[in-house]
């Protein structure tokens, strides 16, 4: 809360759990300047306490974990929050947990990069993300690699993107088999702002209908020269993720896109196909 000049926090493989994340969220709720949070493989998700995989269920810890993720969701849509990159990879976040985060994702005006890879979102979790994408107008890169969303979940995400005018890069590998991705990619043809979809193992799908509202600005990574102002800051942040994703996310550095209108029927397209842990 006192680190008002801190821009990036990287906490990985420390087993800090939901208690550590709770302390960080409390700091985010103040008017700090943190723009990038990498909270990776820290056992923050509710599935650690759900008794999955033969483990013992801990109801108290499960409830607390969900409460922390709900606080994070509220923080994302609050005006003091300056987060532009949020990396929660490998925390065993499940459907109920991501539903808490999705409430903030739907309304955030600052978040540009979200990494939920290697979690246990499932089909229901994918549906929550799809609903959030319908109204989100800030996110440019989403990573949901290896999140157990399977074909129905990925289909739901693609349907949500039909109403999204901000996302430029989607990472969704290791969720479906070799057969079927082509049909999913056809759903994305209506989206003219998505540039790349990493669903196939062989190569990224490049949108033939992509339309850039503005000429692409010069991409400047951290330490990549003087000047650049706000645009340099934005793409330097995205460049941080390229080192974690093998350079793929750097391809998201394209022009700004215009905000389209939301069809009244959009939010009714998504019905949970599986129950969510901890939800009625």
- Kindly list the domain boundaries of the chain, sorted by start residue: 8-252
How would residue 6 be classed by pLDDT, with cut points 50, 70 and 90?
confident
Region 206-212: mean pLDDT is 86
> Model confidence at 184, in pLDDT bands (50, 70, 90)?
confident
Through-space distance between the first and last CA atoms of the chain, rounded to whole angstroms = 35
Say how far apart CA 84 and CA 87 lie, in whole Å: 10
Q: Rounded to whole angstroms, how far apart are CA atoms 112 and 30?
A: 20
Question: Per CATH, the architecture of 8-252 is what?
Answer: Alpha-Beta Horseshoe (3.80)
Burial of residue 137 (number of CB atoms within 10 Å: 0-12, 13-18, 19+): middle
Decide: 257 and 217 in contact? Cβ < 8 Å.
no
Is the pLDDT at 82 greater than 90? The verdict is: no
């Amino acid at each position: 809360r006192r680190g008002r000049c801190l821009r990036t926090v990287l906490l990985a493989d420390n087993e800090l759990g939901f208690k550590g994340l709770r302390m960080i969220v409390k700091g985010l709720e103040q008017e700090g300047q943190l723009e990038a949070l990498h909270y990776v493989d820290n056992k923050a998700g509710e599935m650690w306490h759900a008794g999955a995989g033969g483990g013992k269920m801990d109801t108290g810890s499960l409830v607390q974990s969900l409460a922390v993720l709900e606080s994070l969701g509220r923080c994302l849509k609050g005006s003091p929050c300056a987060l532009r990159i949020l990396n929660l990879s490998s925390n065993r976040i499940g459907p109920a947990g991501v539903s808490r985060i999705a409430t903030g994702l739907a309304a955030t005006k600052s978040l540009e990069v979200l990494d939920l890879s290697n979690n246990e979102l499932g089909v229901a979790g994918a549906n929550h993300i799809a609903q959030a994408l319908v109204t989100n107008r800030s996110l440019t890169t989403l990573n949901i690699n290896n999140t157990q969303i399977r074909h129905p979940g990925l289909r739901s995400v693609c349907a949500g993107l039909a109403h999204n005018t901000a996302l430029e890069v989607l990472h969704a590998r290791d969720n479906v088999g070799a057969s079927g991705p082509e049909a999913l990619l056809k759903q994305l043809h209506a989206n003219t702002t998505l540039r790349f979809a990493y669903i196939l193992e062989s190569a990224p799908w490049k949108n033939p209908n992509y339309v850039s509202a503005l000429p692409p600005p010069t991409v400047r990574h951290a330490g990549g020269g003087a000047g650049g102002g706000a645009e340099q800051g934005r793409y330097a942040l995205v460049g941080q993720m390229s080192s974690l994703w093998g350079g793929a996310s750097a391809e998201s550095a394209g022009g700004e896109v215009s905000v389209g209108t939301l069809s009244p029927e959009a939010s009714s397209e998504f019905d949970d196909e599986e129950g969510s842990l901890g939800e009625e």
